[in-house]
Each structure stands twice: as structure tokens, then as C-alpha cells.
């Protein structure tokens, strides 16, 4: 089962532009996490935002959380070709298993 | 330090054969997860282990799938009588502890790509 659903499924932008990905989830959460996956590799943890936080920054990443709408967004500013990857949101569902969405595939061209 | 290690990185097997996939988690991590990722898809949760507690097997798709974790460290995912629909990348991850109360991120291996012919 999916706890999070990312939108859009695919995004293509030019270097220097900003990329915004959205995630909606179903059940109440204590925190929500974002991960990145480069082609042929495992996932890498990017950032975690707690349910009592509305916004969090890490370098060029900005994550927002709206618990009333059960949604989160990941913004990558001034994107680079190296940001090309799939991005997943994840949260816990009814227990201690971390459940991932289907991901957004980001393509940044130079 | 060493990350999560999975072996083999690729496995091709004939339909009906059994396969074993291995995962070496990060030392000291008490939680270990298995996920499956089909081509271009998201991650499907399979099973997770937390310390000495009984594993959460709620994600296993059928009784052909089983996993064990010996000594709280290395884990093996076994698929019996493989079918073509089992073809996917099997990802293992570990974390310090499991559960949303602890905010422990997952550290993933690079996966085992399983192809059933």
C-alpha cells in the first residue's frame, strides 16, 4: 500500500530553474521524510520534517508540511544536472514500517 | 564507515528455482527493512526487523517469500519457486531504530536486481 503519493510523476527543467515536487499522504504522521534515488542506486535520505514544523531548509532544499491538507512539498532551488534523480516522500503507516510513494522523476538538462 | 551492503548485485534465475538475497546492515543498526522496486515504480514494503522483536511480515506478497535475520545483523531474503513477476530490484535498508517516534533515517544498499527467466 502507498502512504504518500508524489506529484508530478515526471518533471523536466533547465539548469538554474527551481523544481517543486508535492506529496500527499493518507494517515496522521509524526514526521515525513524525503529521499533521492539516482539511477541504479539505493535511496539516500535528504531531509525529515516533524509534524510540528511547517518549513525546513537544508542547503538548496526547502521542505514544507501542511498537516491540515496532509501534504508536503520539496523545493530544489537553482537546480543542477546532478540533481537528476527520482525523489520519494515517505512516512510511517499504522506501525513502524516506513512507506514510500511512487516518486517524482526529475530531469535537469544543461 | 561501511554502508549497507547487498549481494549479489545481480541475479538471473530460472522460473521455479529458489533464490537467496543477502543484506549486511550498518553495524549497530537495530532495524532492518526489505523493499521491492519494480521497473519505474515506487518501493513496496516487504518485511522489517527491529532488534529481537518478531518481524513485521505484513508486506510479504506470498508464502513463497521469507526472511530471517541472524544474530541481529545479517539478513537473508529467500524467494522459493520464483515466478517471472518476482523480477524486480530488492532493496535492503537499516536504521538505528525503527518507528516514527525516533526519527531515524533509513540507509539503503544499492539493491539486488533479480531477473526470473
Alpha-carbon distance A15 to nearest alpha carbon in chain B (angstroms): 24
Q: Give the nearest chain A residue to B42 (CA atoms).
A: A102
Question: Which superfamily, per CATH, for B11-96?
Answer: Immunoglobulins (2.60.40.10)
In a domain, residue A32? The reply is yes
B101 interaction partners in chain A (CB closer than 8 Å): 30
Residue A44 lies in a domain: yes
Task: Confirm whether A84 is domain-assigned.
Answer: yes
Distance from CA of A80 to the nearest CA of B (A): 22
Of A51-55, A79-83, A92-96, B42-46, where does mean pLDDT reach its minimum? Answer: A92-96
B34-80 residue pLDDT tens: 999 998 778 999 999 988 888 999 999 999 999 999 887 999 999 99
Using a CB–CB cutoff of 8 Å, tell me whether B25 touches chain A: no
User: Could you tell me which residue, A74 or A3, shows the higher pLDDT?
Assistant: A74
Residue ranges per structural domain of chain B: 11-96
Instruction: Tell me how crowded residue A49 is: count the other CB atoms within 10 A of its CB.
Output: 20
- Give the helix ranges, DSSP H, for chain B: none
Report yes or no: B91 and B108 within 8 Å, Cβ to Cβ: yes
Question: What are residue A65's DSSP bridge partners?
Answer: A72
Q: Which residues contact residue A68 at a Cβ distance below 8 angstroms, ignoring those fewer than 6 apart?
A: none
Which domain covers residue A40, as residue numbers?
4-103
Collapse the DSSP code of A5 into the 3-class scheme (helix H, G, I; strand E, B; otherwise coil) and give the result: strand
Contacts of B59 in chain A (CB under 8 A): 97
How much is the average pLDDT of A93-98?
A: 70
Count of domains forming chain A: 1
For residue B58, the tally of other CB atoms under 10 A from its CB is 13
Determine, yes or no, domain membership for A109: no
Contact check, Cβ <8 Å, A96/B99: yes
Q: What is the pLDDT of residues A22-66, one digit of tens each?
A: 999 888 888 899 999 999 999 999 999 999 999 999 999 999 999
The share of chain A scoring above pLDDT 90, in percent, equals: 75
CATH number of the domain encompassing residue A12: 2.60.40.10
DSSP-assigned beta bridge partners for residue A4:
A25
| Residues 5-64 in A contacting B (C-alpha not used; CB under 8 Å) | 29-31, 33, 35, 40-45, 48, 50
Do the beta carbons of residue A107 and residue A9 sit within 8 Å? no
Place of cell 516533524: A50
Instruction: Say if residue A95's pLDDT is above 70.
Output: no
B79 part of contact set with chain A, CB < 8 Å:
no
Taking the alpha carbons at both ends of chain B, their separation in whole angstroms is 37
Examine residue A9 and state whether it is found in any structural domain, yes or no: yes
In a domain, A54, yes or no: yes
Amino acid at each position: 500500500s502507498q502512504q504518500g503519493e508524489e506529484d508530478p510523476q515526471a518533471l523536466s527543467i533547465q539548469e538554474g530553474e527551481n523544481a517543486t515536487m508535492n506529496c500527499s499522504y493518507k494517515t496522521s504522521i509524526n514526521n515525513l521524510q524525503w529521499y533521492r534515488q539516482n539511477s541504479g542506486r539505493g535511496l539516500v535520505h535528504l531531509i525529515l520534517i516533524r509534524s510540528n514544523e511547517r518549513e525546513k531548509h537544508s542547503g538548496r532544499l526547502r521542505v514544507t508540511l501542511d498537516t491540515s491538507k496532509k501534504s508536503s512539498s520539496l523545493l530544489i532551488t537553482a537546480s543542477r544536472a546532478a540533481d537528476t534523480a527520482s525523489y520519494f516522500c515517505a512516512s510511517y503507516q499504522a506501525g513502524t514500517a516506513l512507506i514510500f510513494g511512487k516518486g517524482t522523476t526529475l530531469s535537469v538538462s544543461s | 564507515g561501511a554502508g549497507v551492503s547487498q549481494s549479489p548485485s545481480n541475479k538471473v534465475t530460472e522460473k521455479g528455482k529458489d533464490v537467496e538475497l543477502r543484506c549486511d546492515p550498518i553495524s549497530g543498526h537495530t532495524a532492518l527493512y526489505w523493499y521491492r522496486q519494480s521497473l519505474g515504480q515506487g518501493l513496496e514494503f516487504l518485511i522489517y526487523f527491529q532488534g529481537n522483536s518478531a518481524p513485521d511480515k505484513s508486506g510479504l506478497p506470498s508464502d513463497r517469500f521469507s526472511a530471517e535475520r541472524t544474530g541481529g545483523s545479517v539478513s537473508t531474503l529467500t524467494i522459493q519457486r520464483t515466478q517471472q513477476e518476482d523480477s524486480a530490484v530488492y532493496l535492503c535498508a537499516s536504521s538505528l531504530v525503527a518507528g516514527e517516534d525516533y526519527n531515524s533515517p533509513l540507509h539503503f544498499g544499492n539493491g539486488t536486481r533479480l531477473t526470473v527467466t
